[in-house]
Every structure is written in structure tokens, then in C-alpha cells.
A and B are shown apart, each in its own frame.
Chain A
Amino acid sequence: MVELIVFGCAGVICLGGALGVVVNRNPVHAALSLVATLFGIAVLFIAQEANFLAAVQIIVYAGAIVVLFLFVLMLLGVDRAEDLSIEPIRGQRVAALIIGLGVLALPLLAIASTSGEATGARPTAGVSAADGTSAPADPHHIDKGVADVDQLGESLFTDYLFAFEATSVLLVIAVVGAVVMSRRVKRADLVDDPLVDAATSDEAQDAGAPT
């Protein structure tokens, strides 16, 4: 019963926030609606005993990514309301709705067709139990007595160690790429700078002047 109430509240928050992102004309309001959705998903994570991921969800998404969005919106002053009444391509909205309903229908059909079987029983567990031998301990099987962050860390730093290191390389590349992209624009601006123009023309005069 408690889980039903939690699921209902968090689900309404999630769906309302998601609709707000799509419908809000002002990008800042859309970003704040996104925070509501991310918070609702964090609540659903806690309801499913993924406490560490819920904390990370709040810290990384609400604390970093949405703040990054808001920084860009306010730094560039592009927080004007978008005119949603014009439709750039004729029939775009209708086509998008049809595609969206199709995207919704496919997983719903899949869930409906397997709802009887998706109980979570692993097929290997049944086989080993039929042999009469004790099932080999699956190291990734969630043990209710151990905190989820312990199991997550063990999985991350043993099986997925290489992938984990690769993500660190990915983050470094992303940071370097972001810095490079902003630097290039600044150099392009410098060309129009009168000080730079004066300096380069002085150099040109010095070089071109007969001795």
C-alpha cells in the first residue's frame, strides 16, 4: 500500500515534469520541469532499493546537469519564450505524435505479452536446483543483507574495471573538447578586436617598411 502511494505520487511528478519539458514555452521553465522529473525518478529508485543511484541521480542530474543547462540559458540570455504556434514543417507535430504513440505502443505490447513470465526467476537457478546440487553462488545476485552500494562498487571495480577506466578517459575527452570549442570562438572574436587589428597592422607596417 505504501509503495502504491509512493509510486502514484512519484509517477504523477515524473509525467507532469516530462509534459512540462515538452509543453513549456520558456526554456527556463522547461529546465525546472526537468528537475521535477529527475526528482520523481530518484524517488522511484529509492522505492526499488537503489538508494545509491537515487543519491547519484540527485547530485549528478539535478545538481550538475540541470545547473549546467541553466548556466548556458542565462549566460547567453537565450531564455526567451519560444513561439510554439508556428509549425516549421507541415505535419511535423502529427507525425511526431504518431511516432511517439508507436514508441509507446511497442514496449507496452512487449510488457503485456510477457507480464505472466517476467517474475525475475533466472533460468539457470532452476536447472541447478533440479540437479539437487546447491546452485553456484552468483556474485551479482543482489543480497538483501548487503547494502546496494557495496554490491554496486564490487561489480564496478571488478567486472567492469576496464569500462570504468574507459569512462574516465571519456570524461577527460569531453572536458578537453568543451574547452577547445569555447577557445576557438574566443579567437574568432579576437580577430575583430580593434587592439589586435592595430597590433597586426603595426607589425605589417614594420615588416613592409623599407629600412
Chain B
Amino acid sequence: MIAIAQVTPAWYLVLGAMLFSIGSVGLLVRRNPLVMFMCIELMLNAVTLTFVTFSRMLEDVHGQTVVVFVLVVAAAEVVVGLGIIVALLRKEPSATADDLTVLKG
């Protein structure tokens, strides 16, 4: 019974996989570009959770270093993506992802 109650790193990996799949389904289903971006953030966070878990499993600090870079890239991605979304939604406030067929203004 105690052995069952032990939290192994595999549990964290399973949780990360579940978060990633929920994020990917949301990215495919939702049409609001902002919510799609939130789903991408979900997927990125699932991956960072997996990296931290591997860092603990291997007792190697490289996994945590990668998470720092993922954070920075996520911040840059959100800034640029929200800039594009602001430019899009200013023209057409009810725009969905279907209206993003061209990036040309």
C-alpha cells in the first residue's frame, strides 16, 4: 500500500503528457487567436514540467537550464504574437483564426 502511495517521477511525466494533449486539443478546437495562444502556453508549460522532472530523475541541472531558455523564448513569442493579434483585432474586432489567411496588413 505504501509502495502505491509513492509518487514516482513517472507520475509527473504522465501529468505533463496530459497537459500537453489538452493544450494541443484546445489549439486545434478554439478559434479565438488569444485563446489559441493560451493553449500554446499550456503546451510549453507541460514541456517545462517534463524538463524539470527529467532534471530531477537524472540529477542533472541542464534540464533546469533549458527551462530558463523556454521561459525567455515563450516571453518573446507572446510579445510578437500579441503584437500581430493587436494589429489584426484593431482592424476587425471579431476576427478569428480563419481570418488570418495572410499576414499582409
Binds B, one of A31-39, A129-137, A195-203: A31-39
User: How far apart sit A171 and B61, CA to CA, in the bound complex (Å)?
Assistant: 24
Q: Which of A52, A64, A178 has the most CB of B within 10 A?
A: A178
Complex: chain B residue closest to A23, CB-CB: B26
Within 21-79 of A, Cβ neighbours of B (below 8 Å) are at 21-22, 27, 30-31, 34, 37-38, 41, 44-45, 48-50, 52-53, 56-57, 60-61, 64-65, 68-69, 72-73, 75-78
What residues of chain A lie closer than 8 Å to B71, measured between beta carbons?
56-57, 60-61
Instruction: Say yes or no: A142 contacts B61, CB within 8 Å.
Output: yes
**Min CB–CB distance B29 → chain A (angstroms):** 5
Instruction: Say yes or no: B11 contacts A7, CB within 8 Å.
Output: yes
User: How far apart sit A21 and B74, CA to CA, in the bound complex (Å)?
Assistant: 18
Within 50-74 of B, Cβ neighbours of A (below 8 Å) are at 52-53, 55-62, 64-65, 67-69, 71-74
Judge if A207 is at the interface, Cβ distance under 8 Å.
Answer: no
What residues of chain B lie closer than 8 Å to A101, measured between beta carbons?
21
Interface SS of chain A: helix
Contact A21:B80 (CB < 8 A) given known A111-B10, A171-B75, A188-B105: no
Contact A178:B82 (CB < 8 A) given known A72-B34, A160-B65: yes
Picked from B53, B68, B85, B94, the residue with its CB within 8 Å of the CB of A48 is: B53
Complex: chain B residue closest to A19, CB-CB: B22
Q: Which residues of A are interface residues toward B (Cβ below 8 A)?
A: 1, 3-4, 7, 11, 14-15, 18-19, 21-22, 27, 30-31, 34, 37-38, 41, 44-45, 48-50, 52-53, 56-57, 60-61, 64-65, 68-69, 72-73, 75-78, 80, 82, 88, 92-93, 95-97, 99-101, 103-104, 107-108, 111, 115, 118-120, 122, 138, 140-142, 148, 151-152, 155-156, 159-160, 163, 167, 170-171, 173-175, 177-178, 181-182, 184-185, 188
